[in-house]
Amino acid sequence: MAAVRANVRPFKTLDLYPTRSAPPRTCTRFRCSVAAPPRPRSYSVTLLPGDGIGPEVVSVAKDVLSVAGSHEGIEFRFRVMPIGGVAIDSVGVPLPEETLAAAKESDAVLLGAIGGYKWDGNEKHLKPETGLLQLRAGLGVFANLRPAAVLPQLVDSSTLKKEVAEGVDIMVVRELTGGIYFGKPRGFGTNDKGEDTGFNTEVYSASEIDRLARVAFEVARKRRGKLCSVDKANVLEASMLWRKRVTMLASEFSDVQLSHMYVDNAAMQLIRDPKQFDTIVTNNIFGDILSDEASMLTGSIGMLPSASVGESGPGLFEPIHGSAPDIAGQDKANPLATVLSAAMLLRYGLGEEKAAKRIEAAVMETLNRGFRTGDIISTGMTLVGCKRMGEEVLSSIDSQKALTASL
């Protein structure tokens, strides 16, 4: 998993710890503050286990955060709150006011999964997914970062030929709070023939495009310096503005190579030659589709994390997989996507790079030792459940030697 950290100003969730000058410390013969043991850094994290397998995978990630943090002098204060279907069942709404308040007051938010067959027939305002949309809006997170990297241990799990999948390492930066999912007018009506109609509006302002593009340029700058902006500018006016604004901003990032691609071609190229991509930036609906497509290049959606960040306040970190109600409670879930989301929480949300790398290294070591959940099992590997996989990751963390200062 490529380790990148955007350093975007003024996005506080991406740059919480700027270098500050300090007056020189002085010591007496008997006491020196430099020699005193450092105080643990303490963070508040709101945990939203949600539905289905969410509680299982969040439980593993919580333990991993605690252990990795302890190796780096970090303490966590966890608060578990309801969201989604469980919130509907308990208090009648998918996002209780208390949950949103707790999330806003925390330093970062870790979400498991939401949804399930039980609530599929609910009205829109009582669907679990509505709670997630409300949470994103409430936190003001507008940039969704989804890495899709084919790990060498799992290259044979990809449905693509090995020579196509090997070495794929893509970051999709998706706009999260605008576009056709939120644009107005929207609704139902009747046309002049008396037929029922449904309509939505794809709309973006220049500022919405600019703030996302800046995040994407910074992410690309920290990776391999290539950014592909995906749109449908040959048809859609919203995409025409999108391309214009992204192109204008490119002059501020001369070290990043910018290209443009229509979304239909991008969908094809992700399958034909995925290694041509480094960082992709796109709108809400295109990003929703392309990030899911990119995730399957890796062989399992159960391996992929995501981060959603905004201009200020806590970020939202979650695996991209769903609630998987068919295997919920059976200890079959793959917790690694949530564990890697916890690593992104440390890197992008808290600026704790060493702890993030410690978790990522532990995941790699666990896979190197041959442990696999059912979704990524292959011949010669050891099949384990969710809990055991978590235990093996913890074992890998505890067995690590101190990371070098270069990390």
Q: Active site includes 17?
A: no
Q: Active site includes 43?
A: no
Contact 397, 362 (CB under 8 A): yes
Contact 204, 238 (CB under 8 A): yes
Catalytic residue among 89, 120, 264, 326: 264
Structure tokens at 315: 């970020």
Residues β-bridged to residue 48: 111
**Vertex 2: Cα angle to 302 and 288 (nearest 5):** 50
Structure tokens at 326: 């068919």
Distance from C-alpha of 134 to C-alpha of 88, rounded to nearest angstrom: 14
Distance from C-alpha of 257 to C-alpha of 213, rounded to nearest angstrom: 13
Q: Active site includes 288?
A: yes
CA atoms within 13 A on the CB side of 257: 7
Catalytic residue among 15, 118, 181, 331: 181
Catalytic residue among 63, 278, 288, 375: 288
Main-chain phi, psi angles of 322, to 5 degrees? -85, -165
Contact 260, 208 (CB under 8 A): no
Q: Active site includes 262?
A: no
Residue 106 in 3-state DSSP?
coil
Residue 279, number of CB atoms within 10 A of its CB: 26
Q: Active site includes 204?
A: no
Catalytic residue among 232, 332, 354, 357: 232
Catalytic residue among 15, 210, 292, 331: 292
Distance from C-alpha of 297 to C-alpha of 215, rounded to nearest angstrom: 24
Distance from C-alpha of 149 to C-alpha of 117, rounded to nearest angstrom: 30
Helices (H), 81-142: 85-91, 97-105, 128-139
Main-chain phi, psi angles of 268, to 5 degrees? -70, -45
Active site residues: 181, 232, 264, 288, 292
